[in-house]
Chain A
Amino acid sequence: MNKVKQLINKSMVAALLSVASLTAFAQVELKTEMYKVIEVQKDNGTSKIEWVTPDNITPGDKVGYRIMVENKGDKAADDIVLNNPVPENTIYVNGSARGANSSIVFSVDQGKTFATPEKLFIEKNGKKLPATAKDYSNVRWVLTSSLKVGEQSSVQYVVQVK
């Protein structure tokens, strides 16, 4: 718990608008922000999805993670790969992983192998079935271009609390 509090303090010092945590190294900085993903009804009867600062999180709620990478070094960072296991007690929300200039792949075997959704299969009762979002154990973003000095990039995905 100490670690959590420490991370929060850092995020508050950084005056972030959301709950966040970060780890800083000389070259590349990695930072995560957490949001509650809600559906807001509009007056005209439609609704829109919003990412808001969480006030509470209970089963069924959706939690969005925004993962930011910034190159604070003096050389380009190449072959950037972000790997994010889907947390226990949550399931990946289909179609929620996004990221500019990145290819997104998933794993259904705890990160041993990765592939795009149409190439993922699971075995059930001896049958090979196409994997669905709830089967995903890991999300991986492979950035398709280098992060130049001073540049930043971000990716995101959403899980739903079981």
Chain B
Amino acid sequence: MKINKTLTALIAGASIGISGQAFAAGTAAGTTITNQVTLNYEVSGTAQAQLDVDTSFLVDNKIDMEISDNSGALTIIPGESITYTYTLTNSGNKSQIFELLLANSADATGTASTGDTGDITLPTVTYAFAGSNTSTGSILAGGYVTIPVDETATYTATFTYPLTYDVGTNIVNDDYFHLLATAEAVADTSGTTITPSTATDKNDAGNILAAELIVFAEDESVMATTDTDAAYTGVISVITSTTVETANFAHDDNGDGDFTDPEDTGPGLTVIVLDDPICNAYDSGAANQESYYASYTVNTVNTCATGPATYTPKAIPGALVEYTITAKNTGAVDASNVVFFQDIADAAYSDFLLAGTLGNEVTSHGTPSVDGANNELTVTAGTVAQDATVTITFTAIVE
């Protein structure tokens, strides 16, 4: 507030409690308030004509609103629908049109952009009001609602969290996203911005008394300690945080029992050459085996037990190769309809072609099958419970 022409001297000693009682919406904008003072007096015992003075002003348009998020902290499993509930209250003193918007927010600080680990491209989110207001529409296309003084509009926005993701091709448990719900006071349902009365308007004596000025009066929206949606802007917003709960497959790359190392992400594949036509048997001592996961590079250090002492088995035609796929569901929920696909002829080990049949399958979930034309192994594992581990071991002869 601009304070000028202060006349404190006039009221020296006055102490008037300002806090007072709270008014909800209060006197309607445009109401004329008139103070009428009358003076009676006598001169030399004779009553004189009464004097009257009126002073009037118009109550200005106080645009004020509150928004709350009734949803709390939410969790969502991909593929499920999620509903956010918002309540917008017109705390001003005139019926007001609001534009509703919903957007991704990078984080709890209210920056309207993508950036959360679980952000999705928001589909067209429709809103529906509860109670007497039955308006419906699309928030993302600019939803508008007129709320009378002191009334509240409760609305919901529902969408389905997708099974396919915008961020990469995967999502992991505990990914999260924030939605920024905004309500802006606007002049009409085309979204015309309201310009509050300027300082010049407010300092004009004629306007003060006779014009209905516009004043933004809403509080700041506190998003987080680091950022706010400033007060007195005609815009108010709230952020909802949602955590994605999903299954999460990992393996233990270095065998330390910890499945959370960065290199543990996703199912693991071990490829070991057991023997080849030159080295007829391999030394099965664990110290002599090396497994390769992420790179899928087959470069065993198995030493040859019965062949040349320094010979390392090779993936040459006729070699027996053992594949092991391991995957632990380290997520928050059971995974259903799990299917593992393994391209046996994938880049780094494309020399290892299956003989066309599997041998010595050992699998904890489902039965492996091979698509010989595509050199792809498929295991339909069904449901893999949280914390359960899938192990699929099979052998193949290099063609």
A residues whose Cβ falls under 8 Å from a Cβ of B: 1, 3-5, 7-8, 11-12, 17-23, 25, 27-28, 30-32, 34-35, 37-40, 47-60, 62-67, 69, 73, 75-85, 87-90, 93-96, 98, 147, 156, 158-162
Contact = CB atoms under 8 A, between A and B. Distances in A.
Given A32-B37, A80-B39, A96-B16, A57 B60 contact: yes
A55 B202 contact: yes
A52 B6 contact: yes
Contacts of A87: 33-36
A81 B6 contact: no
Contact of A161 (B16, B39, B59): B59
Given A25-B51, A28-B39, A55-B199, A34 B206 contact: no
16 contacts: A17-B5, A27-B48, A28-B41, A38-B18, A51-B8, A58-B215, A59-B26, A63-B57, A65-B55, A78-B41, A80-B41, A81-B39, A87-B35, A93-B17, A93-B20, A98-B11
Given A51-B10, A87-B35, A4 B27 contact: no
B213 A56 contact: yes
Contact of B53 (A19, A30, A77, A90): A30
A50 to B, nearest CB: 5
Nearest to A59: B26
Name A's interface SS. Answer: strand
Contacts of B45: 78
B62 A58 contact: yes
B292 to A, nearest CB: 68
Contacts of A30: 37, 39, 51-53
Contacts of B36: 84-85, 87
Contact of B205 (A19, A28, A67): A19
Contact of A83 (B2, B6, B37, B42): B37
Nearest to A95: B16
Contacts of B39: 28, 30, 69, 80-83
A11 B205 contact: yes
Residue among A87, A95, A98 facing the most chain B CB atoms (10 A cut-off): A87
Given A34-B55, A65-B35, A161-B59, A48 B8 contact: yes
Given A28-B41, A32-B55, A37-B16, A84 B208 contact: no
B203 to A, nearest CB: 6
Interface in B29-66: 29, 31, 33-45, 48-49, 51-57, 59-62
A13 B203 CA distance: 16
Interface residues of B, number: 62
Residue among B7, B22, B44, B62 facing the most chain A CB atoms (10 A cut-off): B7
B59 A89 contact: yes
A30 to B, nearest CB: 4
Contacts of A11: 205
Nearest to B196: A56
A55 B43 contact: no
Contacts, number: 209
B224 to A, nearest CB: 25
Given A1-B210, A25-B49, A64 B5 contact: no
A135 B38 CA distance: 20
B3 A50 contact: yes
Given A32-B53, A35-B7, A37-B16, A59 B59 contact: yes
B42 A162 contact: no
Interface in B154-205: 197, 199, 202-203, 205
Contact of B35 (A32, A37, A47, A147): A32
Contact of B217 (A18, A58, A80, A147): A58
Contacts of B27: 59, 89, 161-162
A158 B4 contact: no
A30 B55 CA distance: 12
Interface string B359-399: 00000000000000000000000000000000000000000
Contacts of B215: 56, 58
A76 B44 CA distance: 8
Given A57-B60, A88-B33, 4 more contacts: A30-B53, A54-B57, A58-B217, A82-B38
Contacts of A38: 1, 3, 18
B16 A58 contact: no
Nearest to A49: B16
A162 B3 contact: no
B15 interface: yes
